[in-house]
Amino acid sequence: MLASARFLKVLFGMALIGVLVAPVAARAAESNRFVSHEDTVSIVSKGDKVSGSMFRLGLLFRLSKGWHIYWKDAGDAGSPPQLTLTQPAHVTTGAFDWPAPDWLVTNGLGDYVVSGTVLLPFTVFLPQVASAGGVNLSGVARWLVCSSLICVPQQARFSLRLSEGAASPSAEAGLFAAAHEAKPKSSPFASTVTAMGVLAVTGKGLYRSNLRTAHFFPDRPDAIVNAAPQRLDFQPTGFSLALKPLKWSPQEPLRGVLEITEAAGKGEALAIAPKLAAAGPAVSASTSAVVGTRCAAGRPAAQSDAVRVPRARHQGAERGAAGR
């Protein structure tokens, strides 16, 4: 009985050590966390160590239900997150990798937003190869988080230490894999746009029976009227979307993300840079449909009746990605 009791004590002690140590190990590649009612934010690393002078980090948002942040093109209001690393000296970063956004229309303003758990990966460039002492990173992030009623500007300072050595996948590596899958891929389809804003996409399998919705998200916030529905029309070789140009000029490229949803419900985000066409296909009312794809409210964006605190003051905010 005594030996059994000792065995149980040892077993309990081992379990307790595991409970105490496991969370620390899981957070080894994560900075301190900013925690609020609206969200929890931190910086995470793809690897548990660093070697060389280049590696991958990500700004991680765990957004509470009903809250969102803004895409790289925020649309008519708001601004995307910004991050500036201040340590080590002379460190630089690449731009964020973004998933496709949701389309949100409130009070006549068209916004592009993301919600849920969102990782924004970016590449870090050190001024020299990491030393045996490892790397101490610190920086400041600023972002705007909004609900249907209010927007809250937030900022936080983050610190992260990574040891030098051959890197293994960190506990957060799965988030980077998911973010890579969500990143818009290069489009396999041909695309053109007319001076009037008719975007035509042609290619195999782009039939009415195969597609449920389509929506174009421009890289520039003033390229098109962001709140305007995009009329979908099918042709024998593909489909077209009737965009409403704002400040886009036919002499300029119209780059962005095209998101299509198949009839089975699977979505695909494609990076496109349509060529200028002399004329676009006519949009026929008998074969067209107005679509609101991936509306953040779960319904066609044009029908959203959410009331939001005026955000015009945020329109002039700097639109950046990871700081350089």
DSSP 222-257: TSB-TTS-EEEEEETTEEEEE--BSS--TTS---EE
Q: Residue 68: its pLDDT value, please?
A: 98
Write out pLDDT tens, residues 114-154.
999 999 999 999 998 888 888 999 999 999 999 999 999 99
- Fold match between domain 28-182 and domain 185-297: yes
Q: pTM to 2 decimals?
A: 0.79
DSSP 70-115: EEEEEESS----EEEEEESTT-EE-PPP----EEEEETTEEEEEEE
The answer to whether the bond into 81 is cis (omega within 30° of 0) is no
Q: What is the DSSP letter of 24?
A: H
pLDDT band at 14 (very low <50, low <70, confident <90, very high): very low
CATH fold for the domain made of 185-297: Immunoglobulin-like (2.60.40)
Write out pLDDT tens, residues 54-82.
999 999 999 999 999 999 999 999 999 99
Cα(191)–Cα(241) distance, rounded to whole angstroms?
11
Domain residue limits, the chain:
28-182, 185-297
Write out pLDDT tens, residues 200-246.
999 999 999 999 999 999 999 899 999 999 999 999 999 999 999 99
Cα(38)–Cα(65) distance, rounded to whole angstroms?
8
CATH 2.60.40.1250 for domain 28-182, yes or no, is yes
H/E element holding 49? strand 49-50
Cα(46)–Cα(208) distance, rounded to whole angstroms?
40
Write out pLDDT tens, residues 284-304.
433 445 444 445 543 333 333
> How many C-beta atoms surround the C-beta of residue 317 within 10 A?
18
Q: Residue 28: its pLDDT value, please?
A: 57
Under a CB-based contact definition with an 8 Å cutoff, are residues 216 and 258 in contact?
yes
